[in-house]
Structure 1
Amino acid sequence: MCGRFEQSGTRKYYARAIGADTRGVEWVGGDTIPRYNVSPGTAPLVLHTLSDALHSDYLRWGYRTPNEAAEKKSPWINARVEKALSGRYFRHMFRDGRVIVPAGGWFEWTVEGGKKQPWYITRPTDEPIFMAGLTNLRPYTNQTVEIGFVIVTADSSGGMVDVHDRRPVVLTSTDAWRWMDLATQVEEAAHIAQTRSLPTEAFVWWRVDRAVNRPDPNNDRKELLTPIPEQA
């Protein structure tokens, strides 16, 4: 799964990295402070397309149906790609709400000595990642329901299983555009999510301080990404 992630770049940085033309007014200003420990319930940057052009919004990480909201149930933050297409819960988002969540990396946890040990997972090169997401946002529509997004996850493979058995679907910039394009048919989008995620060998990961675990909105420092020594 994906329970936290780092999003310290600017909107323009992520837009350029995905291959967008950033000369328009859409990409002037509008940045928040760098975030190194984005948690569910907050509103990070999300990329999507409108009329074949890249746009952005700050959306709440978490989705629940109106009935779940009325019952005050906790929102979903991830969607299993295997169920998102076939189940009724997320299928409408697969048709009309495919987005990209840009980041520098994400956190997963193992249990060591009875305590949750966080790991930071990123690319070995200085480049962002593009995580597949789903949202119920409908631009230019008067919506009276809670708006949010979830991150699409798939089974881990290779050594990353040692960190967690599931991970976000991370796409290349080319596949990210195909994923966001609403002209892409649902079946093709599902194929992208199921088969085009970057392989385990495209990432590196290391232990980080357990301070990452604190549910404090001010717990958001660059030092949280610093590797800690291997345990003896």
Structure 2
Amino acid sequence: MCGRFSLTATPEDVKALFEYIDLPNFPPRYNIAPTQPIATVRKDSGKRRFQLVRWGLIPSWVKDPASFTLLINARSETAADKPSFRASMRHHRCLVPASGFYEWRRTPEGKQAFWIAPADGGIMAIAGLWNTWSDPSGGDIDTGAMLTTEANGMMAPIHHRMPVILQKEQFEDWLDTGNVSVKEAVRMLVPAPDDYLVAHPVSDRVNKVVNDDPDLQTAVEVEASEDMRKAGSSREKKAGGGQLDLF
């Protein structure tokens, strides 16, 4: 799953990658959490648009959001069939710009947080869904969720799931709900290549939403577990003995 992420790229760099027509200005965020506003890119009248939505999708048929489960993630394997996500897969697909995300690995000592980001330091696009919920008094709120898939080789020692990350050449087809069917869109929802991301352990300060600063992504020293050492050794051999991705 994905429960925290970051977007620290400049508005200019985000706009350049996603090519939307808006001119938003937003500050760097290092610890974006569920129920907070998140940046999304969607297609409207043939143009890409930037739109803030609340992280935690509310299907249009929900009567009382307070009694409904917060849907921050959607499993890519079942999203096309689940009542909560089915309509959004058909009509409301979006992209979520991110600089990276956090994930927690279970250890005998407790959960260890990791910062995970593109190896080239660039911006990534997480496949997302959005929907508009209308309350009885007539107010509307746009909400969204991120799609997840099974972990790739890099992520597996940390967690068994990861966000679906789309490449730039896939953006148009994912956003084009009018011409690209759900069946075609589902084919894009696969794990990223093993060498696309790198990860390192970070402090448990990220666990508190009030902490939102660059130090959250600073690497900390932890003892590597046996399966992480094996994963790192395997990647090191493939890379010809270079530096490990995880530490």
* TM-score of the superposed pair, with normalisation by structure 2: 0.81
Q: Residues 111-122 of structure 1: matches in 2 within 5 Å?
A: 111-122=106-117
Is residue 2:9 matched to residue 1:17?
A: no
Identity of aligned residues (%): 28
Paired with 1:202 and 1:37, the residues of 2 have a C-alpha distance of 22
Q: 1:179 aligns with which of 174, 178, 198?
A: 174
The within-5 A match list for 1:1-232 is 1-18=1-18, 20=19, 26-27=22-23, 30-65=24-59, 67=62, 69-137=64-132, 144=139, 146-182=141-177, 183-193=179-189, 195=190, 197-216=191-210, 219-231=211-223
CA offsets 1:156-215 (integer angstroms, 9 cap, x no match): 12131111100000010111221111221111111112x4x4222211000011100113
Structure 1 SS opposite 2:219? coil
Q: When the two structures are aligned, how many residues end up with a matched partner? A: 218
SS in 2 for 1:163: coil
- Structure 1: segments with no counterpart, 5+ residues: none
Larger RCO of the pair (alpha carbons < 8 Å, separation 6+)? 1
Is the 8 Å Cα contact of residues 132 and 176 (structure 1) preserved in structure 2?
Answer: no
TM-score (norm 1): 0.86
Q: Which has the larger radius of gyration?
A: 2
On the 8 A contact 1:61/1:150 being kept in 2, the answer is yes
Q: CA RMSD in A?
A: 2.0
- Larger helix percent: 1
